[in-house]
Amino acid sequence: MITIMRGEVYLDDAHIPLINSEEEYVKQRYFAVAKTIAPEPLRITRNEAAEMIGLSKRQLQRIVKRFMEEGIEGLRKKSTRPNISPNRDT
């Protein structure tokens, strides 16, 4: 169920308290993703959403995909550090 509060689009009422406790970059990502997933009168293009948060369209597409799979946790930055390093001596 889509909710609009203070000019921002929320995809679910349960997201409101969760988003308010997140860091600012997670909030920006959420609102960009919400506006790309929202129904027609509220929807914006992925290009517009990417520009809104200062990312490329491809980066935004990855964030949308992670959000669809993982929820709000998928909006947080992930470590790119490898789990194992074959050249490292232990």
> Hey, what are 47's tokens?
């290009």
> What is residue 78's DSSP assignment?
-
pLDDT digits (tens, 9 = 90+) for 46-70: 999 999 999 999 999 999 999 999 9
pLDDT confidence of 88, banded at 50, 70, 90? confident
Amino acid at 19: I
| Average pLDDT of span 13-36 | 89
Q: How far is CA 83 from the centre of its chain?
A: 24
Residue at token pair 């203070």: 6
CA separation for the pair 20, 81 (Å, rounded): 28
Q: In sequence order, what E strands does the chain have? A: 3-5, 8-10
Dihedral sign from CA coordinates of 43, 49, 53, 58:
positive
pLDDT digits (tens, 9 = 90+) for 74-85: 998 888 888 888
| Average pLDDT of span 85-90 | 73
